[in-house]
Amino acid sequence: MQCDAIIQTRLAADTHTEGGRERERDFSHHPCCSLQPWPIYNFSKPSDLNDSNLTYLGDASASGDRINLTKAATIWSTGRVVHLQPVRLWDAGGNKRASFTTNFSFAISISDPNRPYERGDGMAFFIGPSSATTTMPSDANGAFLGLFNNLSNPSNAGLPPPQTVGVEFDPHYNDDLDPPGLAGHPPDHIGIDIYNISSTYYKGLPKGLDLSGTMLARVEYDGRSKAMSVSLWLANGEPYNLTGQVDLMAAGVPQDAYVGFSAATGAQVEDHQLMSWSFSSTGKSIILCTTGRTTLVIRCILTSIVAFRG
């Protein structure tokens, strides 16, 4: 499967048939295209890596054709990348909720050939408060994935958890934090973390498969049903799915939230890299736009300008 195969399916509605031939619609003069767009990021393009709407925190950095969320072969490394455009999650009355979809390709790999059996702590997509664009929680490395405070540290006593929900891709089992149902099994799992690093919903990978190599993922949130669905395609194409009920408002996520990725290593190391990313939401008039492959027209996903669902 091509790394952008899932992302490109979002563009299926942007074509029409004319004279028996499929052609791209030209929405470049549509009034909606004057809005600040959310591009489909392909980080093999230097312009995408240096987009002014992306901010890098901690050890995260642009590197060649991807974003490194942690430093290679470095223990206790934490980093994140965040988009600076907020996403509105519900209307003024809190009665109508937005839905969103994000697609991304990423890689988790061994970074130190002298330590091939060690695994770092993983990475996560997250949605959180405005503070996520400027700082990371205190003492959030290792198992906390740069998302949540380590409240077992006395110096963090009394600190409220960040108003954050994350979807984690975790190859390392931590006895006191990860779901007890994974004990004694392969450590690799995907999880939905609601206000806490201990996953509320999770799914472990079977023996013989792991979170390594280049993978594809999609996270979909239905504002009406409050269902969050995670689809993961491993490096070998094997699919895995996880669904859970997530009330973002009840979890403390603010009305205008921010999205991004975070990763961490602890006493063991691995690389966490982001290669491509797209995001669309019904909460605001946000449009995904990209130039056509053969003609310089703007393709816009019109479904992303739908108003809040009732």
Q: Return d(Cα 291, Cα 63) in angstroms, integer.
A: 24
Burial of 271 (0-12, 13-18, 19+ CB in 10 A): buried
Question: Can you give the CATH number for the domain in which 152 is found?
Answer: 2.60.120.200
Whether residue 118 is predicted with pLDDT greater than 90 in this model: the reply is: no
Position 272 in a domain: yes
Position 262 in a domain: yes
Position 32 in a domain: no
Q: Which of 118-122, 146-150, 151-155, 302-306 has the highest mean pLDDT?
A: 146-150
Q: What is the number of structural domains in the chain?
A: 1
Whether residue 106 is predicted with pLDDT greater than 80 in this model: the reply is: yes
Identify any residues that bridge with 298 across adjacent strands, giving them in sequence order.
291
Prediction pTM value = 0.77
Residue 115 has what pLDDT? 64
pLDDT digits (tens, 9 = 90+) for 259-283: 999 999 988 888 999 999 999 998 6
Position 12 in a domain: no
- List the structure tokens of 224: 């009406």
Q: Return d(Cα 292, Cα 280) in angstroms, integer.
A: 19
pLDDT digits (tens, 9 = 90+) for 184-209: 666 788 999 998 888 899 998 888 88
- List the structure tokens of 46: 């230097």
Task: Tell me the C-alpha to C-alpha distance, in Å, between residue 111 and each of 22, 133, 170, 271.
Answer: 44, 27, 16, 5
Residue 212, domain extent = 40-283
Please, what is the Cα angle at 71 between 59 and 182, to 5 degrees? 100
Please state, for a pLDDT cut of 70, what percent of the chain lies above it.
Answer: 71
